Amino acid sequence: MTCSATRHPIGDFLGAPQTTMPDTALASTGDGPDLGALPSWDLTDLYPGMDSAELKADLERMERASKDFYEKYATKLAGLDGNAFAAAIREYEHIDEVLSRVMSYAGLVYNGNMTDPTIAKFYQSAQERVNGISTHLVFFTLEINRLEDKVLDAKLKASKDLARYAPWLRDVRLFREHQLSDEVERLLHEKHVVGRAAWNRLFDETIASLRFPIGGKELTCAEALNRLSDRNPAVRKEAGAVIGRVMGDNIRLFALVTNTLAKDKEIDDKWRNYKAPTSARNLSNRVEDEVVDALAAAVKDAYPALSHRYYAMKAKWFGQDHLDYWDRNAPLPDDADRSIRWDEARDLVLGAYGRFSPDLAALGKRFFDNAWIDAPVRPGKAPGAFAHPTVPSVHPYLLVNYQGKTRDVMTLAHELGHGVHQILAGGQGHLLSDTPLTLAETASVFGEMLTFRALLDRETDPKRRKIMLASKVEDMLNTVVRQIAFFDFERRVHTERREGELTAERLGEIWMAVQTESLGPALRFDEGYRNYWSYIPHFIHSPFYVYAYAFGDCLVNSLYAVYQESETGFAEKYLAMLSAGGTLRHQELLAPFGLDASDPAFWQKGLNVIRGFVDELENQP
């Protein structure tokens, strides 16, 4: 699955930081089973169209407003009293929100069809225009960070209006030690659209244009990946080989993109004085390096007890000593995996949400009652799935590629969790609604768990329950083990890149090393699998994003255990946590549940849930 739960930076749409969890079931073509009427989103709540007068007027209005804002406040913040400073932040927030609305619209249109040249031109033009307008705003946070603590504290104490923005000011000032001069920051800001953003676009459009000849058809990347979970082993084997070959045919381009962006990040980290390649991401997630290192170490230590053990079991279920990589996500031999129509999927997910909290289900229902979800597969459409919050004055949108498999239902539950979280956090306003990635995965993974438990509880057939439990374990391994392996891959690549460019062959060697270590001796690979790193868009759009999945899964496992043990009041506390948006840190948000992510034992609690599921499978006939 893919998801994004964070508000994009101005001028750069990351509505899918294209954060795909690879090798999971994605979309199929329209020649499959009858899924009912699949909804497509209606983006007119943002703007009527790419050439609409409303969009043009907003851009012109914000161009004037940003210039006026600069003239009004540049070099003057220190002399403002508390109330005047609060008024300045409100003006900044308004401009930022309108520009974010523009880029949300442009990005969603683009993700709907990345191969249409007219749309691609519109998206690029919107990025360039918004980037140019927002250049006039760059000074604001830089100047805020030059204020002395005692000066800012005095302003906060003197103004209730300003005190409301204290969490935002706190987070802005996290980066004080890492900001550069105003001139350099403006230069980097203006060059972004022809730098990292351009390489992102090259990757996206290349992936969207690739075709994979499988079963006599020319398939998209999403459709090819879907064949890795086909019931027919011959189809899976062919898909595995074709994906490796097609990516291999383009591997020099993907190696160039990866090397260029890794070097770009190294230069940025050096100038900004980040001590490690992961430090900037951790700081933006409001989580300490030590907490992330403890998570990664705990998961890696658990590889033998989790993934190694499970895939050895799965190989035996297939009557083999080893499991070929193209069979890793294969349905179990007795798994019929019937097709689930869209209306049934909707009712399953909303029913699971409703049993936990009617209020949560009511929020989720709004996505289905309105045209806020884009479900069908289309040529050129972004693969996987994501939730994009747009701006609080509108509403989030969800993109999925719905095929009707159980995993697609779980993906819908996941993205809907993001959506309701984004609505609840939106009550904090544009600047305060942004949730760090580590906590942004909480609602999505919790929504998956609610849906899984609901499906499991209604199943009485022991064989079917075993299949469902195995499917859930595979999803959890994809979320925790696989993502930490990806995180390890990135760390190795970015560290080694500092010594010079990595060849495609070397990138493949690092990939194979982390895959062998994480998946275990039961998995069997061939040369084609060496190229599988190259289609994973996390690495391109958002370096080191991936550990947020593992963070969220382990957090939710611990959170769900508290829920099962609690009698009353949990749902209310849970909704309050989601409604906090970015106003509180993870320590403050988890304290009401008696949880502390800085405690090394915390991660073991989450991993023990997965271990318990594997134990249960191992003890079944």
Q: Which domain CATH number covers 473?
A: 1.10.1370.30
pLDDT tens figures, 543-570: 999 998 899 889 888 898 889 888 689 9
Closest of 610, 606, 608 to residue 555, by C-alpha: 606
pLDDT tens figures, 423-469: 999 999 999 999 887 788 899 999 999 999 888 888 888 888 888 89
Instruction: Go through the chain and tell me how many residues it has.
Output: 621
Q: Is residue 467 in some structural domain?
A: yes
Last residue of a domain, one of 196, 231, 264: 196
Cα 317 from Cα 468, distance rounded (Å): 15
Q: Is residue 4 in some structural domain?
A: no
Domain containing residue 222: CATH number: 1.10.1370.20
Query: Quick one: 48 and 125 in the same domain?
Result: yes
Taking the model in full, what pTM does it have? 0.84
Amino acid identity, residue 367? F
Query: Quick one: 289 and 383 in the same domain?
Result: no
Cα 321 from Cα 96, distance rounded (Å): 57
pLDDT tens figures, 251-301: 999 999 999 999 999 999 999 999 999 999 999 988 888 889 999 999 999
HSE-up (13 A, CA, CB side) for residue 119: 17
Q: Which of 95-104, 239-248, 254-263, 592-601 has the lowest mean pLDDT?
A: 592-601
Last residue of a domain, one of 196, 228, 246: 196
* Beta strands in 412-529, from DSSP E residues, in sequence order: 523-524
Q: Is residue 255 in some structural domain?
A: yes
Last residue of a domain, one of 497, 514, 541: 541
* 504-532 CB burial, b ≥16 within 10 A, e <16: beebbebbbebbeebbbebbbbeebbbbb
Is 20 a residue whose pLDDT tops 70? no
**Residue 418 sits in which domain range?**
342-478+547-618
pLDDT of residue 336: 66
Name the residue with higher pLDDT: 336 or 185: 185
| C-alpha pair distances (Å), 570 with each of 283, 544, 563, 606 | 30, 32, 6, 18
Question: Tell me, what DSSP letter sits at residue 470?
Answer: H
Cβ atoms < 10 Å from Cβ of 310: 25
Is 31 a residue whose pLDDT tops 60? no
Is 29 a residue whose pLDDT tops 70? no
pLDDT of residue 492: 98
Name the domain count of the chain.
3
Query: Quick one: 303 and 349 in the same domain?
Result: no
Query: Quick one: 186 and 207 in the same domain?
Result: no
Cα 299 from Cα 278, distance rounded (Å): 17
Cα 444 from Cα 413, distance rounded (Å): 7
Query: Quick one: 318 and 443 in the same domain?
Result: no
Mean pLDDT for all residues in the chain: 91
Q: Is residue 242 in some structural domain?
A: yes
